Amino acid sequence: MKPTKVFRTDFSQDDLWNRIVTLAQQAEPEFGFSANLSFIDNINNDERTPEDLCTYFGKDSEYSCFFVVDKLTLNHREFPLLCVDLWEKWGNQFRVIPGELWGVENNLSIANMDFQEFATAVDEDGIFRGFY
């Protein structure tokens, strides 16, 4: 299975980008699950919108979603990445904290859960922090 792509679209804070990359790759503590990710750190994506990034994928993409590290991600205390749907409602979005990224990526990439299950489980601020 190909790794899910994580695009960097804000190049203002290298230290925070590196921290988010580390946090996103950490294994879940109870069972050791981790996200299968490929980090795209390309200055040509600076300030690109999620809609722009969708053009990298066709409508019949083998990828179920992708993630974005944008200005909001870098400037929020919890570093919530944007998750963008490529299967159900193309371009639909929600945010997810790095500590829950593994569950979103693992379940969406194998179609064990669908995008809406996560999108409807976000908190009032639109961020998925887990099923509690």
Give the residue extent of every domain in the chain.
4-128
CATH number of 4-128: 3.40.50.800
CA–CA dist 79, 24 (Å, integer)? 10
User: Residues in the chain, how many?
Assistant: 132
Are 21 and 79 in contact by the 8 Å Cβ rule? The answer is no
Are 70 and 10 in contact by the 8 Å Cβ rule? The answer is yes
> Tokens standing for 124?
């009032």
For residue 5, the surrounding DSSP H or E stretch is strand 4-8
Q: For the whole model, what pTM was predicted?
A: 0.95
- Residues 43-55 have pLDDT tens digits of 999 999 999 999 9
- Residues 103-116 have pLDDT tens digits of 999 999 999 999 99
Would you call 81 helix, strand, or coil by DSSP? strand
pLDDT at 64 over 80: yes
Mean pLDDT across 13-29: 96
